[in-house]
Amino acid sequence: MKRKVAVTGLGIISPCGNSIDDFSFNLMAGKSGVRRISSAYSSQLSVKIAAEVDFNPLDYFVKKQLSGMDRVSQFALAAASQAWKDSELSLDAKEKERAGVYIGCGMGGGNTIEDLYDQLFKHNADRVRPLTVLMVMNNASASHISIEYGLSGPCLTLSTACASSANAIGEAFRQVRDGYVDVMLAGGAEAFLTYGGFRSWEALRVLAVEDPEDPSKSCKPFSKNRTGLVMGEGAGMVVLEEMERAVRRGAPIYAELIGYGSTSDAGHITRPSLEGQARAMAEALEDAGLLPEDIDYINAHGTATEWNDLSETQAIKKVFGDYACKLPVSSTKSMHGHTMGAAGAIEFIASLLAIKNQAVPPTINLDQPDPQCDLDYVPNIGRTGVTVHSVMSNAFAFGGSNAALIAGKMKG
């Protein structure tokens, strides 16, 4: 017998705000977090825009903690602390053994690696910071969270590039549903806005060209004049909890997590496959026991690259048939950029907020429709006064990993 899974806490660090309230408000207001890069090296880059997080670590940590924590772990822990507080959870020692942490992260401690190489190769340092290994390792974020809250069940880091945190939430969902644990802190984090990071993505020729009139309007998903993705950073964390337990303790319940699909294209390392994407969505629907018509909103992967937006549009049509053209689909990446390993979690949270607020966030910067991308992308203005029972959140990745999550409004 499969158990039900409630979402009882949310936390976020994002280019559109470092609290759920700010994030929710900014998305519905269509406010972009994309801007000119603040770093000193920006003059050396051909692409000078990004979706950076406005984050002062000392608002969250004491100096002693910071000396062993990369920016990515700081984001993860800050988001986790919000989610944990939001859930109002209090676990005893035995319950903590049945609680775990799953984190998605693509690049690990990228800022630390860059500092390390800078010291070694540019400044000929003969030694490096002693905690470098502990800051770079990709499982650092999950471990810090596990230690902070004493959660001694499974603690894993999933790395599937831009689908990482959707996979982390989906796999955590299965852990709770199948009875291995009762509580999971799940989500993801990424902080790869480094000089090397920008250069690497720039070389792939997938980054958006800066909008000549307004840098904040540079990310244009599903638009005919889209030019690519805008790199972002951040973290999103959710508390997943076995439903009966959550109801019994009177927990705040945002939604029920009801479906998860996970596929691999097994094709090309970068070119997306509509088949793989469609199978992830179809699997999630089947897992949730829903029909296509039951979905009221899709938060699309919607990177604003030529290939992704076309492929995702076709995949949605394949799965949803005639209903696809009636279904609101938006890309909030138009506002918070592509937060890479954190994207799945941040966008799952955006989807849950659509249920909470009964309102759908827009795809901004969509002024020139692409005839080949012909769904209802909720252009430019958020939609209020709508009924949102069930939502899907898509995350696709280089490497060919595809994930889809479905959540539903609590009845009653």
Partner 1 sequence: MPTTFERLRQLFIAHFDYKSEELTATTTLENLGLDSLDIIEFMFDIENEFNIRIPDREFKVTTIQDMVDALDRFISEQDSEQDIGSSSNN
d(CA 370, CA 391): 24
| Token pair in block for residue 273 | 């496959």
- Minimum Å distance from CB 128 to partner 1? 8
Q: Does residue 246 sit in helix, strand or coil? A: helix
Residues 5-44, mask of contacts with partner 1 (x by CB under 8 A): ----------------------------------------
In the bound state with partner 1, the residue whose beta carbon lies nearer, of 68 and 399, is 68
Q: Which range touches partner 1 (CB under 8 A), out of 56-64, 82-90, 258-266, 273-281?
A: 56-64
* Residue 211 tokens, joined: 């909008």
Q: Which is nearer to partner 1, 2 or 63 (CB)?
A: 63
Q: Which of 2, 40, 63, 93 binds partner 1 (CB under 8 A)?
A: 63
Q: Are 5 and 242 in contact (CB under 8 A)?
A: yes
Angstrom distance (rounded) from CA 133 to CA 153: 24
- Cα distances (Å, whole numbers) of residue 225 to 39, 55, 249, 309, 371: 28, 32, 50, 12, 11
Among 219, 336, 338, 373, the one annotated catalytic: 338
Q: Has 373 been annotated as catalytic?
A: no
**Binding string, residues 110-139; x marks residues near partner 1 by CB under 8 A:** -----------------x-xxx--x-----
Query: Judged by CB, which is closer to partner 1: 64, or 248?
Result: 64
Helices of type H across 118-193: 132-136, 140-149, 164-177
Measured from the CB atom, the residue of 63 and 94 that comes closer to partner 1 is: 63
Using the contact rule CB under 8 A, the part of the chain among 19-27, 45-53, 58-66, 313-321 near partner 1 is 58-66
Q: Find the binder of partner 1 among 68, 196, 292, 399 (CB under 8 A).
A: 68
Residue 62 interacts with partner 1 (CB under 8 A): yes or no: yes
Task: Tell me the closest approach of the beta carbon of residue 129 to partner 1, in angstroms.
Answer: 6
- Facing residues of 186 across strands? 102, 238
Of 63-71, 114-122, 167-175, 398-406, the window that binds partner 1 (rule: CB under 8 A) is 63-71
Question: Minimal distance in Å, beta carbon 134 to partner 1?
Answer: 8
Nearest partner of 108 among 71, 78, 77, 145, judged by Cα: 71
Pick 58 or 93: Cβ nearer partner 1: 58
Smaller CB distance to partner 1: residue 130 or 250? 130
- As given in the structure block, the two tokens for residue 223 are 């638009």
Is 37:48 a contact under the CB 8 Å cutoff?
yes
Q: Give the residue with the Cβ less far from partner 1, 94 or 127.
A: 127
Quickly list H helices, 184-261.
Answer: 195-203, 243-248
How many Cβ atoms from other residues are within 10 Å of residue 219's Cβ? 33
Quote the least distance from Cβ 215 to partner 1, whole Å.
37
Q: CB of 105 within 8 A of CB of 72?
A: yes
- Supply the minimum distance, in Å, between the C-beta of residue 125 and partner 1: 11
CB of 62 to partner 1, least distance (A): 6
* Residues in contact with 294: Cβ distance below 8 Å, sequence separation at least 6, in sequence order: 389, 390
Q: Angle at Cα 347 formed by Cα 296 and Cα 322, nearest 5°?
A: 30
CB of 108 to partner 1, least distance (A): 19
Instruction: Tell me whether residue 338 is one of the annotated catalytic residues.
Output: yes
What is the C-alpha separation between 47 and 131, in angstroms, rounded? 32
Segment contacting partner 1 (CB under 8 A): 60-68, 197-205, 321-329, 339-347? 60-68
CA dihedral 223, 225, 228, 230 (to 10 degrees): -80
Q: Which is nearer to partner 1, 58 or 266 (CB)?
A: 58
Please indicate whether residue 301 is annotated as part of the active site.
Answer: yes
CA angle 407–104–166, rounded 5-degree value: 25
Which of the following is catalytic: 162, 219, 336, 373? Answer: 162
Which position among 16, 301, 336, 373 bears the catalytic label? Answer: 301
Proportion of the chain in helix, strand, coil states, percent, rounded to 5: 40, 20, 40
| Closest approach of partner 1 to the CB of residue 61, in Å | 11
Nearest to 243 by CA among 10, 21, 411, 94: 411
Q: Using CB under 8 A, count the residues that bind partner 1.
A: 10
Binding site for partner 1 (CB under 8 A): 62-64, 67-68, 127, 129-131, 134
Residues annotated catalytic, as ranges:
162, 301, 338
